[in-house]
Amino acid sequence: MSKRLEFDALVVGGGIAGLQSALDLADQDFKVAIVEKDATIGGKMIRLSKVFPTLDCSSCITTPKMAAAAHHENITIFTYCDMQSLVRNGNSISAAVRQKSRFVDAEKCIGCRQCEYQCPVYVSDPEQGGFSARKAIYIPFSNALPQLALLDVENCTLCGKCAKVCPTQAVNYFQEPEDFIIEANTAILATGFELTPIENKQQYGEGKIPNVITALQMERLLAPHGPYNRVLRPADGMEPDSIAYIQCAGSRDKSMGVSYCSRVCCMYAIKQAMLLSGALPLADIAIYYMDIRAFGKGYEQFFQNAMAMGIEFVKGKVATISEGENGGVRLHYESQEDGGGVTSAEHDLVVLSLGMVPDWNPQGCCSVSCGSDGFIETVKPKIAPTLTDMEGVFVAGAAAGPKDIVDSIVEAGAAAMEASKYLTTLNRAVKAVA
């Protein structure tokens, strides 16, 4: 029989929105459980270099919140877990959770990384955009929380070296998944987003052209703790002299099933272009766009600053991408300037500004409704943007639709407030009956 754990609130997702919601509730003395599918909390934000439009350090903002949640007496964090179901059960919400096998005992592991140092197997590291390697047993990154090792069984050779060197005998090759139930009175869905798959864009090479990368991969190249400590072309390790960004590479595109605007792509491309201007001052940087959407506070000025720095903005829709000479990338696009017409240009490195799609599909798991775009639907988007159609369940951040970090944090606070009001009302009703 699955063990049952009781909390006041359940937060599904440990990204910036989930962390903010959990901290706001925990500071009100509510007992909160965070369930995260990845091996560490922090979400997408901890993987970014800087944030727009202030160009503040992303890790400097996220890491304190991660640490605050990890050490808060009212917060319990469950990482590397899958949500099996989330159903209403009377006045409470019952969530069936599966703890996936780390093949490392979380209670014994001390995060010393001795297993990682001894492992002889190297595999591509998705945390670094696939540009560098990690071991088959590893801790995702230096400031990951919790600091627990994870064994990649698909690439493990079962040589036994990690188990032999572990000082606490934490490695367990036979560890099974563990199922448990979380009982809570309210829940906040902060499941975040994923990028549109580059493999779905046949016209852009389906991810097979070596010097065509995604914007998230560029974040790793720009990060101070990135794979190369500088920006290099993945194909040959050379510094690019010409870099192009293609906007709406995964948004406003019916061929990919993403007809909506993802809102953040323009600004993060401009942010990266400005950072590249500092890292590669002699490089030519161009942004190919249909229109620039600078809707937030300071965003228009951010755009103007980029133009003043010499970043070229080319109004035109890129139709196809092909390999050029000497590892270059050739763009074929329809210009919307100077009379228009189909033309082409060649660059050393091309970055695709991919859009945002839902990271979690609640179908078959819980009864909350989703819109035609797949994001969780809110019943009163204008006056209650966190309210779902499932009683006691609220939504925060990009789980409800594409949005930037500022809006995600604001909505996370709003979701926590709504959840707090719901808990207070519920507690009063219980006391009145008693």
Spatial distance between the Cα atoms of 196 and 215, rounded to a whole number of angstroms:
11
The tokens 């965003």 sit on which residue? 299
Q: How far is Cα of residue 95 from the mean position of the Cα atoms in its chain?
A: 23
Q: Is the pLDDT at 269 greater than 80, yes or no?
A: yes
Spatial distance between the Cα atoms of 12 and 43, rounded to a whole number of angstroms:
12
Average pLDDT of the residues in 406-411 = 95
212 vs 203: which has the higher pLDDT: 212
Q: Token pair of 50, please?
A: 């800087």
Q: Is the pLDDT at 214 greater than 80, yes or no?
A: yes
Residue 430: pLDDT band (50, 70, 90) is: low
* Burial environment of residue 336 by CB neighbours within 10 A (0 to 12, 13 to 18, 19 or more): middle
Residue 1: pLDDT band (50, 70, 90) is: low
Q: What local confidence, expressed as pLDDT, does residue 433 receive?
A: 66
Q: How far is CA 314 from CA 72, 96, 281, 324, 357, in A?
A: 49, 50, 20, 20, 26
pLDDT tens per residue across span 318-340? 999 999 888 899 999 988 887 77
Query: In the CATH hierarchy, which top-level class contains the domain 3-100+177-192+359-433?
Result: alpha beta
Phi, psi (rounded to 5 degrees) for 430: -65, -40
Q: Token pair of 370, please?
A: 């989703």
Q: What local confidence, expressed as pLDDT, does residue 225 receive?
A: 83
CATH code: domain 101-174 is 3.30.70.20
CA atoms within a 13 Å half-sphere pointing along the CA-CB vector of 326? 6
Q: Please check whether residue 272 is in contact with residue 286, taking contact to mean a CB–CB distance below 8 angstroms.
A: no
Compute the CA torsion angle 24, 25, 31, 32 (nearest 10 deg).
-70
Spatial distance between the Cα atoms of 42 and 59, rounded to a whole number of angstroms:
9
Residue 434: pLDDT band (50, 70, 90) is: low
Q: Which residues of the chain does CATH 3.30.70.20 include?
A: 101-174
**pTM (two decimals):** 0.94
Average pLDDT of the residues in 67-74 = 97
Average pLDDT of the residues in 4-25 = 97
Spatial distance between the Cα atoms of 128 and 360, rounded to a whole number of angstroms:
23
The number of residues in the chain equals 434
The rounded mean pLDDT for the chain is 93
The tokens 């809707």 sit on which residue? 295
**Extended strands (E) in 61-206:** 75-78, 81-89, 92-99, 122-124, 133-135, 137-138, 150-151, 178-184, 186-189, 193-195
CA angle, corner 239, sides to 60 and 129, nearest 5? 50
pLDDT tens per residue across span 120-171? 999 999 999 999 999 999 999 988 999 999 999 999 999 999 999 999 999 9
Q: Which residues of the chain does CATH 3.50.50.60 include?
A: 3-100+177-192+359-433, 196-356
Q: What local confidence, expressed as pLDDT, does residue 427 receive?
A: 80
224 vs 417: which has the higher pLDDT: 417
394 vs 336: which has the higher pLDDT: 394
The tokens 């829940």 sit on which residue? 187
Q: What local confidence, expressed as pLDDT, does residue 431 receive?
A: 66
Q: Token pair of 291, please?
A: 């229109």
Q: What is 196-356's CATH superfamily?
A: FAD/NAD(P)-binding domain (3.50.50.60)
* Window from 19-28, 32-41, 327-336, 347-356 with minimum mean pLDDT: 327-336
